[in-house]
Amino acid sequence: MQFNYDGLSSRVIFGAGRRAEVGEELDRLGIKRALVLSTADQSETCATFAAMIGNRVGALYPGAVMHTPVQVTESAMHQMEQMNCDGILSVGGGSTIGLGKAIAYRTDLPQVVVPTTYAGSEMTPILGQTEGGVKTTLRSPMVLPETVIYDPELTLTLPDFISGPSGMNAIAHSVEALYAQDANPIISMMAEESIRALGAALPKVMEDGSNIDARAEALYGAWLAGACLGSVGMAIHHKICHTLGGSFDLPHADVHCLMIAYSAAYNREAAPDAMARIARALGIGDAPAGLYDLLQSVGRVKSLAELGMTEAGLDKAADLAVQNPYYNPRPVTRDGVREMLQAAFEGTRP
């Protein structure tokens, strides 16, 4: 047994109602004038948090948008500088957290993050930004939030068409962590537990979004999945999803949700230990079949055809996906990828 393990250090506070501790957490980091971030959709939540932290508010910026455009970061920083802010409080999903990370990258200010989706960005030292329509990704310890408060009550308002795909997107991080080139036993334990928790919780969340126990279990799984994404490299699934998302403008979480069963099937023979752990976590004999069953109950879209892809598009996607491939346990071939895309196009059980 040989492995490297780099522990990522952040403080995690988990539990229903624990957002009430946000003021104490700002104090712990010495933040006296926080820049409070959210999307425009969540501006009410932003205002509620501002009221909760009282005189520790420096400024509010409810202007986060998808893909962390650099001009939005600059506009938020202008607000931050005018009001002399000395720390960041991000409340929301990956878009809001991305804005907080972009500011931390430029200023090294401490961050308290309160996630409200299952995207997992709060646990990674990864920052994706866009400038002039081009997305670039970097890794830096400066962007990893110091403190994360997970309060499942904040996810009760997350609609099911976001909850299901966003939760499956988290599962996809954990699946790939199990067969990563730099996999290690700690992260693999977290990955398996994350698939178990999300696999059990997501169908219950879809049935009843107000089920706080299921919401808590899903958020717990999402936390672990974020830690997996932040710690080890991803493989063919992430490459194909970036290709489909980037070159065909398909919705990020829906694509992950659909493709993970097919990506797992691609690696079925090449990664038997990972498959056994995924299957055990889902309580089924075959990992790709278990992921496919989960897709049927939580997915919004069940085939690439439903997403509007064409056969010609599949050819182009296969060509693109084999360029600069990521590490993958089974060699990435154009024919293999094309076959995988065909199965996903038809939505057949892998």
- In whole angstroms, the minimum distance from the beta carbon of 96 to ligand NAD comes to 6
Identity of the residue, 126 or 276, whose beta carbon is nearer to ligand NAD in the bound complex: 126
Identity of the residue, 112 or 265, whose beta carbon is nearer to ligand NAD in the bound complex: 112
- In whole angstroms, the minimum distance from the beta carbon of 229 to ligand NAD comes to 6
In DSSP notation, 260-319 reads HHHHHHHTTTT-HHHHHHHHHHHTSS-HHHHHHHHHHHH-S---TTTTT--HHHHHHHHH
Coil, helix or strand at residue 33: coil
Identity of the residue, 13 or 65, whose beta carbon is nearer to ligand NAD in the bound complex: 65
Do the Cβ atoms of 29 and 83 come closer than 8 Å? no
Select from 98, 262, 299, 284 the least CA-distant residue to 175.
262
The region, left, alpha or beta by phi > 0 then psi within -120 to 50, assigned to residue 315 is: alpha
Identity of the residue, 162 or 183, whose beta carbon is nearer to ligand NAD in the bound complex: 162
Interacting residues with ligand NAD (CB under 6 A): 39, 41-42, 66-67, 92-96, 98, 116-117, 119-121, 124, 126-128, 154-155, 157-158, 162, 166, 229, 252-253
Coil, helix or strand at residue 105: helix
Coil, helix or strand at residue 116: coil
Residue 69: DSSP 8-state: B
Q: Which residues lie across from 135 on neighbouring strands?
A: 130
- In whole angstroms, the minimum distance from the beta carbon of 84 to ligand NAD comes to 27
Identity of the residue, 154 or 294, whose beta carbon is nearer to ligand NAD in the bound complex: 154
Coil, helix or strand at residue 211: coil
Identity of the residue, 12 or 66, whose beta carbon is nearer to ligand NAD in the bound complex: 66
Identity of the residue, 253 or 279, whose beta carbon is nearer to ligand NAD in the bound complex: 253
Backbone phi and psi for residue 249, each to the nearest 5 degrees, phi listed first: 55, 40
- In whole angstroms, the minimum distance from the beta carbon of 27 to ligand NAD comes to 25
- In whole angstroms, the minimum distance from the beta carbon of 259 to ligand NAD comes to 15
Q: Name the residue with the smallest CB distance to ligand NAD.
A: 94
Torsional sign, CA 138, 98, 202, 153: positive
- In whole angstroms, the minimum distance from the beta carbon of 21 to ligand NAD comes to 19
- In whole angstroms, the minimum distance from the beta carbon of 43 to ligand NAD comes to 9
